Structure 1
Amino acid sequence: MQKICVIGGSRYFGKLLVQRLQAAGHQVTVINRGSTPSPPGVAHLVADRDDEAALIAALGSRTFDVVVDQVCYTPVQAAIAARAFSSRTRRYVMTSTIEVYDPVTASLPTVPPGTPVPEEAVDPSTWLVAMDLPWHDAAYLEAHYAEGKRQAEAVFAQHQGFAFAAVRSAHVLGGGAAEFTGRLAHYVGHVTQGTRITVHAETLPTVFIHYKELADLLLWAATLTDVTGSINACSDGPLDVYDLGAVIAAQAGRKAMYRSAAADEPASPFSFDRHYVMDNARAKELGFSFSHTRDWLPGAVAEAIDASAASTA
């Protein structure tokens, strides 16, 4: 049994992670702002992670074997957590994102299309951190989501108080109504209603992961391995927007229709005109086994179709 602290963990794959940690016999503590109660048997600390004094007060004298941070978006948040947990844990796991590799958002090494992007393309141990940017501004943070994640990783990677791993998640799908991003629902709505999906003139593939598989990987990263550094988390089998549409069309019994985005018009989510498909070889070499996207995607789409039908009933 290990003592595990989860920051966030109140919805989607974070909620599932808490359940699986508890089922595995670990002593689990959840920290959030109190809007969602924790399951029975899970300790619940109410604190705003942005308030360092309140966070430290809530922690008291508690220590943990591992902290899993589900909701760190800025270097400021990371710095607060690094100071608060420096003497309270031996290991820190942060949930990060595929977006750290988006070449539009930073000057990154060029990876030819068709070549999966390895973890070393973004090295948080050398990434520059700028605490004086307006990270507190919601609009700024939304526009700089990828850089916020890169710099948050960098703060932890350059901190000396604990071992650190960053799980860089692919686009997460599955769970029907629980999938709060609404991206799969966006496609389901277009296909079932017979409206056109806006795509780039030339589209490139991306990678996905089922929310249950991501919870499994986070459980593995937190309790079953001592791996440090960055870990790409994606199912095998990249898909482009047309592949996704075809799976939805097959499940819905409808035809997916498309139109090209006009100049400066945003395309639908998962339509990409730039390459940053992740390479998951490192996690495999370390012992984690991934599913294939096409094995679970039809089920995830069926859940999304059911959730859409239920919401309009």
Structure 2
Amino acid sequence: MREVLVIGGSRYFGRLLVTLLQEAGSRVTVVNRGSPPPAGVAHLVADRDDEAALRAACGPRTFDVVIDQVCYTPTQAEVACRVFADRVGRYIMTSTMEVYDPATSPGGLPAAPGVPVVEDAVRPADWPVRLDLPWHDPERLATVFDPATGYAEGKRQAEAMFTRSAPFRYASVRSAHVLGGGARDFTGRLAHYVERVSAGQPVAVHPDPLPTSFIQEREIAEFLRWAAAADFVGPVNATSHGELTAIELCDLVATRVGTPPRYQVVADGPASPFSFDRYYAMDNGRAERLGFRFGAVRDWLPTAIDDALAATQEGRHAVTRDR
């Protein structure tokens, strides 16, 4: 039986991942700051930023695989390299497509307009690591990076730290934008579109929004479960087939809620989630060559929209009942 430790795993697709690992026959342990895991899962309580506490919580335990759902900085990666040096054979970091976003890269990133980006566009072995930055202090870090840049740069540098220093086999899963899950989706990004379109409110978009990539909540959980049993190393993109612009997303929402979309074009200032003024999509060829088969975004998105609509309506009913 495979011993799997999930760092985080308390919400959204992390909880689903834990359940899928159990169903696959793995013995699962979750470590977090206190959120209870699903039934039948061993639970360790520790702040992953506290090296001594994390080491103490793990005690003498060893694991076949660690899946790190909440690694955001190179300092967290550095701690993990030390704590798990002698207790794990394979380590998977859940990363993000934000590592490719040229808008968040201090030095810029190479990009071919209209061509989905491949893993080599960001090579962790070559990426500079700045352990001197205030990664544990969001307010001080905001004086160096804006929040979006800090998140993306933290992920890039975390990948770089693991790539250079990991004493175990290491892989990073660069996830596309995750949609689905209805009320479980704490990000509220799909709900934003469903609520505004169904209410006839305008959606803020760029003058010419360009496509980006998506993956279903269950699909990314299944991908991580699959990755836990695989043996590849290095970064791999995880995205459903197909790309969507914010306009195309609105059109799909409109077909489900029965209300035509309205738009507010913004040349400057914030637009809605997933409205991009740059081409921003990933290539999933490496993952498919390794053996994983993705679905198509247009096949699963209608159900995700329906779930978001149901969650929105239930939320409105709950507010009414509370009154």
- What SS is found at the alignment partner of 2:174? strand
Q: Deviations over 1:145-193 (max 9, x none)?
A: 0000000111111124101000000000001010110000111111011
- Report SS of the residue matched to 1:203: coil
- CA apart distance, 1:40: 2.5
- Pairwise CA distance, 1:276: 2.5
1:195 and 1:28 map into 2 onto residues whose CA distance is 44
Q: Which residue of 2 aligns with 1:83?
A: 82
The yes-or-no answer on 1:238 pairing with 2:243 is yes
Structure 1 position 42, deviation (Å): 1.0
For 1:203 and 1:113, the matched residues in 2 are separated by: 13
State the distance in 2 between where 1:247 and 1:170 align: 19
Structure 2 CA distance for aligned equivalents of residues 39 and 166 of structure 1: 25
Q: What residue in structure 2 maps to residue 250 of structure 1?
A: 255
Aligned to 2:57: 58
* Aligned residue among 280, 284, 289 for 2:288: 284
CA distance in 2, matches of 1:147, 1:96: 11
Aligned residues: 310
Q: Partners of 1:104 and 1:186 in 2: how far apart?
A: 23
Alpha-carbon distance in 2 for matches of 1:160, 1:214 = 24
Q: Report the Cα distance in structure 1 between the residues aligned to 2:115 and 2:267, rounded to whole angstroms.
A: 28
Letter in 2 for 1:284: E
Are 1:43 and 2:42 matched, yes or no? Answer: yes
C-alpha distance in 2 between matches for 1:176 and 1:291: 19
Q: Deviations over 1:233-286 (max 9, x none)?
A: 0000000001100010000000111111142x1111100011231100000000
Q: 2:101 touches 2:109 (CA, 8 Å); kept in 1?
A: no
Are residue 298 (structure 1) and residue 302 (structure 2) matched?
yes
Aligned to 2:168: 162
Decide whether the 8 Å contact of 1:207 with 1:238 is kept in 2: yes
Distance (Å, rounded) in 1 between the aligned partners of 2:55 and 2:112:
46
The reply to whether residue 212 of structure 1 matches residue 218 of structure 2 is yes
Q: Distance in 1 between matches of 2:50 and 2:110?
A: 39
The match for 2:155 is 149
Please give the alpha-carbon distance, in whole angstroms, between the structure 2 residues aligned to 1:51 and 1:266: 36
Cα distance in 2 for partners of 1:229, 1:160 equals 11
CA distance in structure 2 between the aligned counterparts of 1:160 and 1:247, rounded to whole angstroms: 43
For residues 183-209 of structure 1, give each alpha carbon's deviation from its aligned partner in whole angstroms, at most 9, with x where no partner exists.
Answer: 001111110111111111111100000
1:10 aligns with 2:10: yes
Shift of 1:39: 2.2
Q: Counterparts of 2:202 and 2:120 in 1: how far apart (Å)? A: 38
Identity of aligned residues (%): 57
Give the structure 1 partner of residue 193 of structure 2. 187
Q: What are the Cα deviations for residues 106-153 of structure 1, in whole angstroms up to 9, with x where unaligned? A: 134432222110000001112111011111122436341000000011
CA-atom RMSD, angstroms? 1.1
Q: Which runs of 5+ in 2 are unaligned?
A: 318-323
Secondary structure of 1:207's counterpart equals strand
Matched residue, 1:133 = 133
Q: Distance in 1 between matches of 2:125 and 2:77?
A: 14
Structural mapping, 1:267-282, within 5 Å:
267-282=271-286
1:202 equivalent in structure 2: 208
Partner in structure 2 of residue 19 of structure 1? 19
SS in 2 for 1:66: strand
Amino acid at match of 1:185: A
Q: Decide whether the 8 Å contact of 1:103 with 1:276 is kept in 2.
A: no
Q: SS of 2:165's equivalent? A: coil
TM-score, scaled relative to structure 1: 0.97
Residue 129 of structure 2 contacts residue 160 of structure 2 at CA under 8 Å; is this kept in 1? yes
8 A Cα contact 2:81 2:166, kept in partner: no
Matched with 1:173 is 179
Q: Secondary structure at the match of 1:158?
A: helix
Q: Which secondary structure does the structure 2 equivalent of 1:37 belong to?
A: coil
Q: Which sits farther off after the overlay, 39-48 or 226-235?
A: 39-48
